[in-house]
Amino acid sequence: MRVFVTGTDTDVGKTTICSWLCLHTNHAYFKPIQTGSTVSQDKLTVSDLAPNARIYDEIYSFTQPFSPHLAARLDNDHIDIERIVLPGDENVIVEGAGGLMVPLNETELMIDLIERLQQPVILVARTTLGTLNHTLLSLEALRQRNVEVLGVVLNGEPNEENKEAIEFYGNIRVLQTFPQLTNVSTTILKQVEFDKELKMIFSQ
């Protein structure tokens, strides 16, 4: 099973969620576009947290921690989404960069890449104030492109009101509320078990 993990914003916890998914499902990991590679590389984080996962190299890796279009320009490069092809591994978690509407080049956004790849999406969102607007806008944008959305993973302190509102107004399943972690390690991620909704998806 191939799943594209995207988020409502930058630093919403996509890489931690991807590590957790790879650790529990033995899926491979692929992040086609990496920015800020001199600061950190998400593939190294996933490799450390899910040591048995197969890790694929990026198609594009840029040094500066900016939006992909700007990071590419500063590195005298240009992103061509036609070059981004999914690896041959049947079971792979694909991680996006930033949110859906971050520019990749002069004419295309991250959501254009998601639409082109046509893989089902898990949307990672915060549990805190502002998540309703960000999450509902993201769901609307994905549906406008006819992208299949498997559900939402909320990351942070549990907020039942926000969870119920996202499910009701977004007409979507919240697959899991992932706990707010002060420290992240393989051992800790192993202790965060899948909720029933998520287990159903990955058992298919």
pLDDT tens digits, one per residue of 115-152: 999 999 999 999 999 999 999 999 999 999 999 999 99
Percent of the chain with pLDDT over 90: 92
> What distance in Å separates the CA atoms of residue 119 and residue 106, rounded to the nearest whole number?
24
**Buried-state track 40-76, b at ≥16 Cβ within 10 A, e below 16:** ebbbebbbebbeebbbbebbbbbebebbbbebbbeee
pLDDT at res. 21: 98
The DSSP call for residue 82 is: G
Across the chain, mean pLDDT equals 96
> What distance in Å separates the CA atoms of residue 96 and residue 93, rounded to the nearest whole number?
10
Please compute the mean of the pLDDT values over residues 78-88 and round it to a whole number.
96
Asked if pLDDT for residue 55 goes beyond 90, the answer is: yes
> What distance in Å separates the CA atoms of residue 94 and residue 117, rounded to the nearest whole number?
10
Q: What is the pTM of this model?
A: 0.96
C-alpha 67: how far from chain center? 15
pLDDT at res. 203: 86
List 14, 31, 43, 163, catalytic entry: 31
CA distances from 151 to 39, 121, 147 (A): 31, 7, 12
Cβ neighbours for 37, distance < 8 A, ≥ 6 positions apart: 61, 62, 63
> What distance in Å separates the CA atoms of residue 152 and residue 143, rounded to the nearest whole number?
14
> What distance in Å separates the CA atoms of residue 26 and residue 36, rounded to the nearest whole number?
27
pLDDT at res. 89: 79
Active-site residue flag, 14: no
Among the listed residues 116, 165, 179, the one whose alpha carbon sits nearest the alpha carbon of residue 145? 116
Percent of the chain with pLDDT over 70: 100
Kindly indicate the confidence band of residue 90, based on its pLDDT and cuts at 50, 70 and 90.
confident
> What distance in Å separates the CA atoms of residue 79 and residue 99, rounded to the nearest whole number?
17
Question: How do residues 14-54 score in pLDDT, each as one tens digit?
Answer: 999 999 999 999 999 999 999 998 777 999 999 999 999 99
Q: Which pair of tokens denotes residue 83?
A: 């070059």
CATH no. of 2-202: 3.40.50.300
Asked if pLDDT for residue 62 goes beyond 80, the answer is: yes
Asked if pLDDT for residue 78 goes beyond 90, the answer is: yes
